[in-house]
């Protein structure tokens, strides 16, 4: 796999992903599985958060115990499917700050147009973890991170459930400094921009809109 891409191969992640891929898996189960996988992916993507120590008084004695050294990370959800991962991430780090970015692609110019943008003002001082289940063409992820960098984000990671090789290539052209975490790099994109074999439209499957 290319440098700067971590595929989380833990068996629990892979088994849950298989269940999510099945077209027989209905919305409530799909949503639950995405939340469960997000817990496991969150564990991996936060692995290198820096710790320091603080004194804690246990019922037995005083001890120096690990705590986060820096400000809590900031999670950025790319709407709307990113919210499916965000829910699980927030379970594990309830004190994280959260931002949302909404982009759509203009059919004529193919430019990414922003329709929603609300992020914490102190992003520059935090680790920023951008989440979107599908890294397909990579265009939306690149545009979202362009925007976040303009607002000062420096220390960024990108977390998705599935990636297409084409999406990873495009992403790394745009943001070679941003590590990608995923549960799988699938075969390819099809002519409709879907990841193959993939799991279909992540937003529709999370929210039952189709
Ligand atoms: N977005 C999705 O939801 N699914 C894909 O396969 C590609 C992009």
Ligand 1 neighbourhood includes 199 CB (under 6 angstroms): no
By DSSP bridging, strand 51-57 and strand 62-68 are antiparallel
Cα torsion through 9, 5, 135, 108, rounded to 10: -170
Domains of the chain plus CATH, in order, are 5-207 (3.40.50.2020)
Q: What is the CA(81)–ligand 1 centre distance, in A?
A: 9
Residues 6 or more apart whose Cβ sits within 8 Å of residue 115: 102, 103, 104
Give me the pLDDT at residue 2, please.
73
pTM: 0.95
> How many Cβ atoms sit within 10 Å of the Cβ of residue 28?
9
What distance in Å separates the CA atoms of residue 161 and residue 41, rounded to the nearest whole number?
A: 8
Active site residue 201: yes
Give me the pLDDT at residue 113, please.
92
Ligand 1 neighbourhood includes 202 CB (under 6 angstroms): yes
Return the residue matching tokens 């939340």.
35
- Number of the ligand 1 atom closest to the C-alpha atom of 193: 7
Output the known binding site for uracil. 195, 200-202
Active site residue 47: no
What distance in Å separates the CA atoms of residue 132 and residue 164, rounded to the nearest whole number?
A: 13
By DSSP bridging, strand 180-182 and strand 112-118 are unpaired
Ligand 1 neighbourhood includes 134 CB (under 6 angstroms): yes
Active site residue 122: no
Tens-digit pLDDT string for the chain (210 aa)? 677 999 999 999 999 999 999 999 999 999 999 999 999 999 999 999 999 999 999 999 999 999 999 999 999 999 999 999 999 999 999 999 999 999 987 777 767 899 999 999 999 999 999 999 999 999 999 999 999 999 999 999 999 999 999 999 999 999 999 999 999 999 999 999 999 999 999 999 999 998
For residue 68, give the nearest of 94, 40, 41, 91 by alpha carbon: 94
Residue of 27, 105, 147, 151 with catalytic role: 105
**Main-chain phi, psi angles of 136, to 5 degrees:** -95, -90
């Amino acid at each position: 796999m290319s440098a700067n891409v971590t595929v989380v191969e833990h068996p629990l992640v892979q088994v849950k992903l298989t269940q999510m891929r099945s077209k027989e898996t209905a919305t409530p189960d799909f949503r639950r599985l995405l939340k469960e996988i997000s817990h496991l992916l969150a564990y991996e993507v936060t692995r290198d958060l820096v710790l320091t120590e603080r004194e804690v008084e246990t019922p037995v004695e005083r001890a120096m115990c690990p705590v986060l050294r820096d400000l809590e990370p900031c999670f950025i959800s790319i709407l709307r499917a990113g919210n499916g991962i965000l829910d699980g991430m927030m379970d594990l780090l309830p004190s994280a700050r959260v931002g949302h970015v909404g982009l759509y692609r203009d059919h004529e110019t193919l430019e990414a147009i922003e329709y929603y943008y609300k992020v914490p003002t102190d992003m520059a001082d935090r680790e920023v973890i951008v989440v979107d289940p599908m890294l397909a063409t990579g265009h939306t992820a690149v545009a979202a991170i362009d925007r976040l960098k303009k607002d000062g984000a420096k220390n960024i990671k990108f977390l998705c459930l599935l990636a297409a090789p084409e999406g990873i290539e495009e992403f790394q052209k745009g943001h070679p400094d941003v590590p990608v975490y995923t549960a799988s790099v699938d075969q390819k994109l099809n002519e409709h921009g879907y990841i193959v074999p993939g799991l279909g439209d992540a937003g529709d499957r999370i929210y039952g809109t189709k």
